Amino acid sequence: MLKISNLTKKFGGLTAVCDVNIEINAGTITAIIGPNGAGKTTFFNMITGVYTPTSGQIMFQNESLVGLKPHAVSRKGIARTFQNIRLFSSMTALENVMVGMHQHLNYSVLSTLLHLPTYKKKEKMAMKKAYKWLEYVGLEELYNEEAGCLSYGAQRRLEIARALATEPKILLLDEPAAGMNPKETKDLTNLIYQMRDDLNLTVVLIEHDMKLVMEISEYLFVLDHGEKIAEGKPIEIRNNPKVIEAYLGKSAVTTA
């Protein structure tokens, strides 16, 4: 579904991602892991059009994404959440999800300005669908609450609901469990499985919670200092000397 070839991103003299090759199969849950500063979020930013690669190729369902703006990437069927939650804090939960739906509504400028029947009909439809997405992530009772007043875990779920409202084929989650308590993390795990199974969704996540990663991921890629140092199934990654060294240092490998 997603094929990354020789992907590189340089910022001046700093190489954040270097010659990375990754393939993501449809219907899978895949994790991108690595220590802080490994280039994981930069990698996501290139896939979603936030950054243009210095070199390399990003193919999604046999179409190149290189050079596309974020909104164009979203229309292709790729949605994401962010490491630092990006919600419209003064808007309600329902309104935040409706923002994610607007790329599918095709309003004309005239119908929007004059609130013509076509506009009103599509807005009503969007409201109903947005509420359904809130139900899906368990936030329907908070539909009228301002996003900025929600708990941290609820904000994470709201961001996922907004991403789902774009009707993606692949969902990129950037540290979705960050700041969550154990119950919220368990609920998130169940939600990720549910999204994959119910929606035929491909999920790729960046995550530092190794318990979550090893439990939920079918395949992992490991980055360190911008380079891919390992890939494989959870059991293979857990015992990989390069991965142990990247996280714990050379002494940990020697001890092991």
Over the stretch 222-246, which tens digit does the pLDDT of each residue have? 999 999 999 999 999 988 999 988 8
Q: List, by residue range, all CATH 3.40.50.300 domains of the chain.
A: 1-77+169-256, 85-167
Over the stretch 81-128, which tens digit does the pLDDT of each residue have? 988 888 988 999 999 998 887 665 555 444 555 556 666 677 788 888
Q: How far, in Å, CA of 148 to CA of 244, rounded?
A: 39
Q: Is the pLDDT of residue 9 over 60?
A: yes
Q: What is the 3-state secondary structure (H, E, C) of the chain?
A: CEEEEEEEEEECCEEEEEEEEEEECCCCEEEEECCCCCCHHHHHHHHCCCCCCCEEEEEECCEECCCCCHHHHHHHCEEECCCCCCCCCCCEHHHHHHHHHHHHCCCCHHHHHHCCHHHHHHHHHHHHHHHHHHHHCCCHHHCCCEHHHCCHHHHHHHHHHHHHCCCCCEEEEECCCCCCCHHHHHHHHHHHHHHHHHHCCEEEEECCCHHHHHHHCCEEEEEECCEEEEEECHHHHHCCHHHHHHHHCHHHHHHC
Over the stretch 165-199, which tens digit does the pLDDT of each residue have? 999 999 999 999 988 889 999 999 999 999 999 99
Model pLDDT, residue 107: 54
Query: Domain spanning 85-167 has what CATH number?
Result: 3.40.50.300
Model pLDDT, residue 117: 65
Query: Domain spanning 1-77+169-256 has what CATH number?
Result: 3.40.50.300
Q: Is the pLDDT of residue 251 over 60?
A: no
Model pLDDT, residue 248: 65
- What percentage of the chain exceeds 70 in pLDDT? 89
pTM for the full predicted model: 0.86
